[in-house]
A and B are shown apart, each in its own frame.
Chain A
Amino acid sequence: MPRSPLFIPIAVLLGALLAIASEEPEVPANPVSAGGEPVEPGAIDFNAQVRPILFARCVSCHGPDAAAREGGLRLDTEEGSRAALPGGDAHAVVPGDLEGSELLFRVRDEDPAFRMPPPEKGDPLTSAEIAILERWIAEGGDYAPHWGFEPVRAVASPPAKEHPIDHWVETRAREAGLPGIGPPAPRPALIRRLSLDLTGLPPTLEEVDAFLADTAPGAWERLVDRTLTSPRFGERWASVWLELARYADTKGYEADRGRTIWPWRDLLIRTLDADLPFAEFTERMLAGDLLPPTGDPEEDERRILASAFHRNTMTNDEGGTDDEEFRTAAVLDRVDTTMLAWMGLTAGCAQCHDHKYDPLSREEYYALAAFFNQTEDADRGDEAPTIPFATAEQRERRAALEAERAEAAAALVAATTRFELPPAPEVPTGEPVEAPLSLPVVQEGMTPPFAELRVDGRLEAWRWRPPTDASGGVAAVVETRGNDGQVTQVFFPRSLIERPITTEDRLEVRFWLDPEDPPETVMVQIHTRDEGWEHRVVWGEDRIENGVSGSESRRLLGALPPLGEWTTRSFTAAEIGLDPTDRLQGVAFTQRGGRVEWASLHQIGRHPPDLRPVHSLSAFTDLLRASPGAPVPERLKELARRGLADLAPAERDELRAGFITAVHPAGRDAFRGADAETIRIGEELAQLERSVARVPVMRELPPERRRTTHVLTLGNFLQKEAEVTPAVPAAFHPFPADAPRDRLGLARWLVDDANPLTDRVQVNRTWERIFGRGLVETVEDLGTQGAVPSHPRLLDELVAVYRASDRRLKPLLRHIVTSRTYRATALMESEGRTIDPENRWLIRSSRTRLPAEMFRDQALAIGGILSPKKFGPPVFPPQPPGIWQVVYNGASWMESEGEDRRRRSLYTYWRRTSPYPSAMLFDAMSREVCSARRIRTDTPLQALVAMNDPVFVEAAGGLALRMLEAVPEDRGAALSHGFRRATARWPEAEERSLLEALLEGEREILAADPSRADALLRSAGVTAPEGVASAELAALVIAAQVILQLDEVWTRP
C-alpha cells in the first residue's frame, strides 16, 4: 500500500516535540495561574506549581485523612505545614528559611531511610521539584486555596465587539507563543459541525443548501438559532445525561431483569428540549417528589417522574441477598452520583476513609447520605414505590372510554326519564334495618362457586384435605407451600358471585402455620372489580413486594400469629380500601416460604338495608341519607345527602335513574341489562389501567418510619458507627438557612450561587462535549486532584453567561458556537500543530472521533433510513445472536420490526450486564454507576463495526438507493450526491474518480456473479428498482460503504 506523503510532516512534528521534550522540566514550563494571570518569572504560583507536588507526593500520608496521617504532619493546609512537629521544635515549613524547613531537609536527604517520600511510597523528588519547593519556601511558603473551591469571580469584560471567548482564547494562545485563532472552516464543514454538536445528527442536504444560499450578514446566527430549536436537540443532550444518570432498562446485578423507567428518559428529553433552568432541573431530578403541589395534576406527575433520576440505581434480586445491603449500596450510589454529576467531586473515597485529597470526611460523607436515606424504596423486586405512567395512546384510549362511559350513562339517564314510576304502594315506614351478617367467602370444604383456582398461575383443582391439627375444630383445609425466598399464591380470580361490601365490614381469616416450616410472611389479598388485586393485608415480615407498604395495597398488621395453633385474624374493609361500590370478586392466600393451612374467610358485618320496600324516589333518598352502608354507588349517596330539593334537574334525573335501574322493582325489570355497556366499558378501563407501566420513583418515608443514618465501616451496612444527620461538608458554603433538611434543600444548596463547583462543572462538561476536551480536562474531577484549567478566566466568564441566562443550556451553547473559536478550521497546517499537538490552546477546532451514539445515528441518517420517531419504550435494533446469555433470566433480544430497527441510539434497550455491543466498542459506559467522561479509544474492532455491523450495511443500502434515486442517469453525479450527504461537501475531482473507478470495477465483477449481487442486496436490506440491474445497485452499496467509512465521516469536521 502506498504510504501517505504525510510521513515527512510527522517526522517534523516529532522533531519539534523532541526538541520541546528535551527542554521540558518536570513541571509546566508555562504555569497557569489559578487567576489566569501569566506567572511572573521568579514568582511561584502555589496552585500551578507547588500544589501538584505536595498533593501528588506528600498529602496521601500527610493530609486530611486523620486515620492515615503519618508523623502528625499535615501538608494540605498552611496551618499544618507551620505546626511544630511532634517531639521537637522542628517545623515542616518555616517561611523564608530554607535551612530551618524540615520539609526541604527531608526531601533532599541522601539516606533513603530518612528521605521523603519513603522508598516504598515512590521515587525521590526530582531536582526540579525540589527547586520549586525551595523557591516557594524562600518566597514565603504561602498556600492558596484550590482554584475550584474559590468563589466564581466576576470577569472583566473584554473590549467591545470582541466575543469574550475569542478574547480569552487569544490571550492564552499568545501567552503560549501561538498565533491567534485560525481562519474559519469552510461553510459545509461548519454546518455539519454545528448540526452534529447541537443535535447529534448531520444536516440534511436541504439544510446545507439553505445555509449556503444565505449569504447575508448574520447567516451563521440564523443557522445557530434554527439548529437550537431542532426537535433533535433534547435527544442529543439526553444521551449525555443518560450516562451521568446511569440510566438502563434493567436492574443490574445477577439476573439483570428488566425495569420500566423509559418514561423518565422521555421526560429528560422533553426537559432538555424545553431548556428548563438548571436550578429547576436539579430540584426535579433530585427531589421532584418533594416539590409542593402545583394544582396541575399532570405537572405534579411530571415532577414526581423526574425524581426517578435516582431510581436508576441498581436493584439486586439475586436469591439469598439481603435487601438492606443493596438498599444501602443504592443510597451511597446516590451520594456519589450527585456529587460527581453536579459538583465534579469524587465523594466515593470517603465511604471508607476521610477523602485523602478533598475536604470531605467520612462523617461528612454519611451526613450527605442521610439526605438520601429517607426514601421508601428498599431494593425490592417490584421496585416499589412506583407510579403509573400512561403513554399518550393509553391516555387517549382512557379519555375515549371515559367519554363513552359518560355517554352510555347519560343515555341510560335519558331513557329512565321516560319511565313512569307507578304509584307507590302503601308500605310501612321506619328505620332501615341492617341485620348482622356472617357470610362465608371461602367456606371450609366448599369449592367457591364459579371459582377458578390458580396456584402460582397454574390452574388446579380446589383440593380440600384434613387439617394437620384438628384441635381448632377445623374439618378441612387448603394447604399451601411457599418456595423459599419466593412468593407463592393460591387464588381464585374470577368468582362470579360479586359480593357487596361496606366500609364497616370486617373480613375474618382462619389459618394455621406449620411450626416445623414456618413462612416468613402470610398475606390475604382481595380482588375487586375496579381496583383488581390492590387490597392486601400482611402478617410477619414485610417481604412480599407487591403494592405499597403501609397503604391499602399492602397493610402491615404485625407479627405472624403463634405457630402450630388455629388462629383467626380479622381486618376491616376500610383498611384495605374497599368501598361500598366495590364488588368483592376474588381472594388469594399468599406466603413467602413455609407451609400454611387455610380454613376459611368470612365477611362479618351487617346486612345492608333491605331496599325492596322502597318504592318512591323520596323514600329512596331518605334511606340513603340514613344508611351510609347501602349498596349503591357513592355518587348517588352524595346526591341524596344534598336533598332532592337542592338538586339541579340533571342531577335529579341522575339520582332517579339510579333508583329506577338499581332499586325500583318495576324499574329494575324494565332496565335489566341496560347497564351492560357501562359495565363493559368499566371493565375495559380497568384492564387498561392494569396494563399501564409502573415507573419507580422517589418517595419520602412518613415521619414515623424515618431511618437513622450511621457512619458505616468501609460502607458495610452491618457495621454501624456514630449516628449522623443530614448536613453538607463544612468546607463549602453553608446550607441555605430557609431550606428544608431534605433532598429538596440539598438540591437548592447544589445550585446556590455560592456553590463554587456546580456551574463550573456544568459549563466545563458542555465545553467538553463540543470541543472534545474540557477547559478543565478532568471533567470528572474538579477537586484538588483534578487538572488545572487551561483557561480559568474563560471558565468563569462562561459561568457568568450561564448564570445570566438562568442557567439554561441553549443560551450557553449559543454563546459558545457564535465565537470565532468555535468556527475555526480544524485543519492542522498552522504552526500551532507543532507547538500544541493536543490543541490545548484552541486556535483550531478539534477533529475528534464521533461518540458511539452519533456515529451510528449519523450512518442511519446519511442512509436516509433513520426513524424520526421520538419517545416510547426501548427498541431492539439488530445485534449479533447469542449476546444475551444471563443467568436465571431467559430474556432474549427480540429484534424490533419496522422503523424501530432504525431509531436513534438512545432508544436502544440498555442492558447493564450486556449492553449493546457496538456502542461498547465505541467507548460507551455500561451504566452501572455514574460516568462523567468517556476515554476515547480507536481500535480495529471499531473498523469491524463500520464494515460488518448490519446497521451500517443497511445504512449503506439506504445510501445506495438514495444515490440512485437522486441522480438516476449519471453514476458520477450520484456518487457526488452520496458523498455530499455524508460530508456536506462536494467531493474533489480525485475523490470522485476514485469512487467511480471502484463502482465501475465492482459492477463489472458483480454482473458476472448475479447471485453474489443479490446476496449483498439482501444484506443491505434493499432491492433494485425496476429497470436497474442487481449488480448496478450492489456496486453502489459497495461504494456507499466506502463513503460511510471515510475518516471524515468518523470525525467531527
Chain B
Amino acid sequence: MKEESRMPLDPRETDPLERLLARDPRRVTRRHFLSSVGAGLGGIALGELLGGDGLLPSLSAASPTLPTGTPHFAPRAKRVIVLHMAGSPPQHDLFDPKPALAPLDGQKCPESFLEGERFAFIKGHPKILASPYSFAHHGGSGIEVSELLPHLSGEIDRCCVIRSMHTDQFNHAPAQLFLYSGSPRLGRPSMGSWATWGLGTENEDLPGYVVLVSGGKTPSAGKSVWGSGFLPSVHQGVQCRSTGDPVLYVGDPAGIDRATRRRALDTLARLNELEAERTGDPATLERIEQYELAFRMQVEVPGVMDIGRETPAIIEEYGASPGEASFANNCLLARRLVESGVRFVQLFDWGWDTHGTNPSDDIITQLPKKCRETDRPIAALLRDLDRRGLLDETLVVWTGEFGRTAMNEERNGSKYLGRDHHPHCYTIWLAGGGVKPGHVHGETDEFGVRITRDPVHVHDLQATILHLLGVDHTRLTYPYQGREFRLTDVHGKVIEGLLA
C-alpha cells in the first residue's frame, strides 16, 4: 500500500495553473488533468484515472469550497467498508433487547404505536411480537447482543453500537438511495463516489470504489446505490464479482494470451504515437496510457480478487469458500481490497427483509440463517483487520436501510413471524477508523418504537462518516444544474458522541 504523501492544503495556495484549469469543474475531462501534471505523462496513474485525485477541481472565486484532493483535516479513517444487510435486519432480535415486549407478546399493540403511522403491509390492529431470542451482556463493555450473533458477541468491544438511527424512508429502494446518496430519488452520487471524488484512491492499479454483492440479488435500488450521479462516471462504484470476470471485460477473449496482447498493444501504442504526432492532441497519449493501465489491471484485479491466495487458516476463520459467491468470501475480499488501498468497499447481502409471510422471510428460519451466513465472517473481518493494523484506519459500518416494527406483520393471516418496515428507529454499528469502541449510543423506548435519546439521522451518519475521512460534509460540494450539491443536501451534523 502506498503512503499518502500529500498534506492538507489551503486551497488558496494551490498552483495557479490548476486553478485556471479547474475553474469550471463541470468541464473537467482527462485532457485538463493531463495538462495539469507538471511532471509530464509519467505522472498519470491508474488510480487517478479510476477515481483518483487528479480529477479534483480546486477552487474558483465563485466556489471557494470545492475539495482540494486532500482531506480538509486529519482523517481518522482512510478507508471504509460498508456491510449492508439489504432488506433491513430487525433490531429487536439482534441489538436492541426489549424485555417489556415479552408479557405483551401476541396482544394487540397499544394505540400509540399506530397514531399517524402508515405501514407498508400491516393492516388492522397488529399484535406485539416479542423477540424469541435471548440476549446476554458481552465483553468488557457489557453490550447486549442476541444469541443469534455468537461470533460478533466476542468482538463487540470493538463496536460502537447506535441504537438511535432513524430515516425518512420506509420502502427499500428509496431508503437505500437515501442512505447512500442523501436523496430518496435517483440521480445523486453515492457516498463512495463522493469519497473517491474528494479523496482519490491509494492504489494506482485498482478502482477506488468497489462493490461486492451476495445473496443472489442486487439491492432494491439497483446499481444506483453505487452510482456516481452527476459526478464524473469514473467515480461510480465498480462491481467486482466473485464468479466470472472479477471486473467486467477484464478477461481476454479465448485465443488471446498475455504475450499476444502485449505485442498488439505495442503496435497500437506506436500507431497512436504517430497519430499524436500528426494531430498534436495530448488526449491520444492518454489513450495509450489507458490501454497500458487496463493491461496492468488485467493482471492486478484478478490477483486481488483471488481469495485462494489466502492461507487455509484465514479461509477457515472467515468460513470462506474460494470459487463461490458468498458473503464470507466478500468479507475476505473486502479486507484484501482495503489492504490494497481501495478507498471505499460496499458489501450488499440480500435476504434480510423478514416480513414473516413464509419460512423464507421469517424471523424463525430465515433470520437465523442470515445470521449464520454473516456472523462468523464479520467477526473474522474485524479481527483480521485488527491483526494487520488496518482496523484503526478502516471504518467498518454494519447497517440496513431502516428498522422493523415491534409488531408481528401477520400478512393475510400468516402464521409465520415477521416484522414490517419501521423508519423511526433502528440499530447499526460502526467499528475501527476513529469511532468509540465498546460503546452504545442512543436509546429507544421500552418497546423499541421511538427514540428517547441522542437520535442519529441518516444525514448525520453521512456527515460523521465523511468527518472520519477528514472531510467537512458542508464543503464537499459539486456544482450541478445551477447549485452546489452535497451528500448531506442541506442537513446533517457530525455526531461527536460517536468519535473516539
Contacts and interface: CB of A to CB of B under 8 A. Distances in A.
Contacts of A938: 29-30, 49, 283, 286-287, 290
A147 B292 CA distance: 46
Interface stretch (B244-252, B369-377, B383-391, B452-460): B244-252
A887 B294 contact: no
> Which of B16, B41, B173, B277 neighbours the largest number of chain A CB atoms within 10 Å of its CB?
B173
A446 interface: no
Interface stretch (A220-228, A234-242, A278-286, A776-784): A776-784
Nearest to B20: A21
Contacts of A21: 16-17, 19-20
B217 A926 contact: no
Contacts of B224: 913, 926, 928
A1041 B230 CA distance: 33
A319 B120 contact: yes
Given A56-B63, A1047-B287, A781 B482 contact: yes
Nearest to A68: B490
B282 A126 contact: no
Contact of A940 (B217, B227, B233, B293): B293
B61 A483 contact: no
Interface stretch (A596-604, A725-733, A824-832): A824-832
A7 B244 CA distance: 40
B481 A346 contact: yes
A18 interface: yes
Classify chain A: how many residues form its interface, as a range: 35 or more
A17 B17 contact: yes
Contacts of A847: 279, 281, 283
> Which of A357, A785, A997, A1018 neighbours the largest number of chain B CB atoms within 10 Å of its CB?
A785
Contacts of A128: 61
A1016 B256 CA distance: 7
B243 interface: yes
Given A122-B65, A914-B222, A995-B267, A1015 B274 contact: no
A935 B26 CA distance: 7
Contacts of A988: 274
A838 interface: yes
Interface in B125-162: none
A349 to B, nearest CB: 6
A1045 interface: yes
Contacts of A935: 26, 28-29, 230, 232-233
B280 A828 contact: yes
Interface string A577-602: 00000000000000001000000000
A867 interface: no
B62 A56 contact: yes
A316 B222 CA distance: 13
Contacts of A9: 280
Contacts of B186: 252, 926, 928-929
A626 interface: no
B410 to A, nearest CB: 10
A765 interface: no
B268 interface: yes
B217 A885 contact: yes
A245 interface: no
Given A318-B173, A1042-B271, A356 B483 contact: yes
A936 B412 contact: no
A357 B480 CA distance: 13
B401 to A, nearest CB: 12
Interface string A993-1016: 011011001100100000011111
B258 to A, nearest CB: 12
B313 interface: no
A880 B245 contact: yes
A319 to B, nearest CB: 7
> Which of A126, A1034, A1045 neighbours the largest number of chain B CB atoms within 10 Å of its CB?
A1045
Nearest to A945: B249
A1004 B462 CA distance: 59
Interface string A9-20: 111011001101
Contacts of A936: 29
A496 interface: no
Contacts of A777: 24, 26-27
> Which of B17, B273, B280 neighbours the largest number of chain A CB atoms within 10 Å of its CB?
B280
B172 A318 contact: yes
A991 B274 contact: yes
> Which of A4, A26, A786, A997 neighbours the largest number of chain B CB atoms within 10 Å of its CB?
A4
A939 B267 contact: no
Nearest to A336: B481
B430 to A, nearest CB: 26
A208 to B, nearest CB: 19
A1001 B259 CA distance: 12
B64 A122 contact: yes
Given A882-B241, A937-B233, A1018-B254, A18 B62 contact: no
Given A7-B41, A949-B249, A1016-B256, A14 B172 contact: no
Contact of B187 (A785, A833, A928, A998): A928
A450 interface: no
Nearest to B353: A887
B103 interface: no
B46 A940 contact: yes
Contacts of A928: 186-187, 224
B73 interface: no
A920 B172 contact: no
B121 A785 contact: no
B50 interface: yes
A799 B247 CA distance: 46
Contacts of B292: 1
B431 to A, nearest CB: 28
Contact of A4 (B227, B276, B411): B276
A953 B463 CA distance: 45
Given A485-B121, A882-B241, A941 B269 contact: no
A550 to B, nearest CB: 27
A614 B90 CA distance: 77
Given A52-B62, A920-B233, A948-B249, A887 B217 contact: yes
Contacts of A781: 481-482
Interface in A1013-1032: 1013-1020
A1020 B60 CA distance: 50
Given A778-B26, A998-B267, A1041-B264, A483 B412 contact: yes
Nearest to A593: B412
Contact of A997 (B187, B267, B290): B267
Contacts of A914: 218, 222-223
Given A346-B482, A349-B482, A913-B222, 14 more contacts: A316-B171, A320-B119, A484-B121, A484-B123, A781-B482, A787-B24, A886-B217, A928-B187, A929-B187, A935-B29, A938-B290, A944-B298, A1042-B267, A1047-B284
Interface of B: 12, 16-17, 19-21, 24, 26-31, 34-35, 38, 40-41, 46, 49-50, 60-65, 118-121, 123, 171-173, 185-187, 213, 216-224, 227, 230, 232-234, 236, 238, 241, 243-245, 247-257, 260-261, 263-264, 266-288, 290-294, 297-298, 350, 411-413, 421, 474, 479, 481-483
- 8 closest A-B pairs (Cβ-Cβ)? A1016-B255, A913-B222, A320-B120, A785-B482, A828-B280, A56-B62, A928-B186, A1015-B255
8 contacts: A880-B245, A880-B248, A881-B244, A883-B248, A913-B222, A935-B29, A935-B232, A1019-B255
Interface of A: 1-7, 9-11, 13-14, 17-18, 20-22, 24, 26-27, 52-53, 56-57, 60, 120, 122-123, 125-126, 128-129, 252-254, 256, 316, 318-322, 329, 346, 348-349, 356-358, 481-485, 517, 593, 777-778, 780-781, 783-787, 826-829, 833, 837-838, 847, 849, 880-883, 885-887, 912-914, 917-918, 920-921, 923, 926, 928-929, 935-945, 947-950, 953, 988, 990-991, 994-995, 997-998, 1001-1002, 1005, 1012-1020, 1034, 1038, 1041-1042, 1045-1048, 1050-1051
